[in-house]
């Protein structure tokens, strides 16, 4: 949990710093993105901005002002007491949200529910099981190349809990997801490597190959997950 918090803070800091710098420097042009690292960095910036601004609670102007005030030792608009109060209220809200998400089911009980679901699901028609325990079903078999973990891929997907509740969907977000395959959960790494470009699979992922003991939004600790994934392309 602490590691995840520090990663988020690092991303936020990078975003704020780049925003501040853009106020004093001219904008880059497409021809300035000469190298692969240039283009990857630019794409990372786009992806990060989309993630941050997707939250209705995120206010860019106020965020940048707070960042600049602290970074330049300018008098802060809030006292330390007010800042601590707001931070503590935020922690309470996060804890409450996670508690509501888990619906009172303990991680141990949730693990057993996932295992029972997968034990029954593996016997259903069309479901295949890999040696690791990942289950998948082919909806459509593509004819393109299969990716490896060093590739960047473009996918459309829908993620659900075993009770059918949707927790994330690129279809709802309005655009496919582009990412380096080696940087996502193990269940996606293994499952997508099985897919030729153009394929559409259902992946049934045990909790240990998903988020494990970590809770994330609607995903409670030790949740088995189901993803419908379409592999659209291997991005060069």
- Reported as a single tens digit per residue, the pLDDT across 51-64 is 666 666 667 778 77
Can you give the residue ranges of every domain in the chain?
Answer: 2-77, 105-235
pLDDT at 69 over 70: yes
**Residue 12's pLDDT band (boundaries 50, 70, 90)?**
low
Q: What are phi and psi of 158, to 5 degrees?
A: -140, 130
Model confidence over 24-41: pLDDT tens digits? Answer: 556 778 888 888 888 877
Whole-angstrom distance, CA of residue 117 vs CA of residue 109 = 12
- CA separation for the pair 113, 127 (Å, rounded): 19
What was the pLDDT predicted at 125? 95
Q: What is the DSSP letter of 205?
A: E
pLDDT level of residue 115 (50, 70, 90 thresholds): very high
Least confident of 35-39, 143-147, 191-195, 206-210: 35-39
Is CATH 1.10.287.620 the classification given to domain 105-235? no
Half-sphere exposure of 132 (CA within 13 A, CB side): 17
Determine the Cα–Cα distance for residues 42 and 45; give it in Å rounded to an integer: 5
Q: Please, are residues 203 and 181 in contact by the beta-carbon 8 Å criterion?
A: no
- Cα separation, 38 vs 40, in Å, equals 6
Show the tokens assigned to 164: 């059918």
The pTM is what?
0.58
Higher pLDDT, 24 or 188: 188
Q: Which residues are catalytic?
A: 157, 167-168, 185, 211, 227
Mean pLDDT score, 197-216: 94
Confirm if 220 and 102 have CB atoms less than 8 A apart: yes
């Amino acid at each position: 949990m602490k590691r995840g918090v520090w990663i988020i803070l690092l991303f936020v800091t990078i975003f704020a710093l780049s925003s501040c710098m853009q106020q004093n420097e001219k904008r880059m042009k497409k021809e300035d993105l000469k190298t692969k690292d240039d283009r990857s960095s630019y794409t990372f910036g786009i992806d990060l901005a989309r993630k941050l601004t997707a939250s209705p609670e995120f206010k860019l102007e106020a965020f940048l002002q707070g960042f600049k005030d602290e970074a330049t030792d300018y008098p802060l608009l809030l006292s330390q007491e007010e800042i601590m109060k707001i931070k503590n209220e935020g922690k309470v809200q996060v804890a409450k949200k996670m508690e509501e998400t888990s619906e009172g089911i303990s991680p141990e009980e949730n693990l057993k529910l996932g295992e029972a679901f997968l034990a029954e699901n593996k016997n259903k028609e069309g479901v295949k099981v890999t040696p690791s325990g990942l289950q998948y079903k082919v909806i459509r078999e593509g004819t393109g190349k299969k990716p490896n973990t060093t590739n960047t891929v473009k996918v459309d997907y829908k993620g659900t809990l075993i009770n059918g509740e949707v927790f994330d969907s690129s279809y709802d977000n309005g655009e496919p997801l582009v990412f380096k395959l080696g940087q996502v959960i193990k269940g996606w790494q293994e499952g997508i490597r099985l897919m030729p470009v153009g394929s559409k699979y259902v992946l049934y992922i045990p909790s240990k190959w998903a988020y494990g003991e970590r809770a994330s939004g609607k995903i409670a600790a030790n949740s088995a997950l189901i993803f419908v994934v379409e592999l659209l392309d291997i991005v060069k």
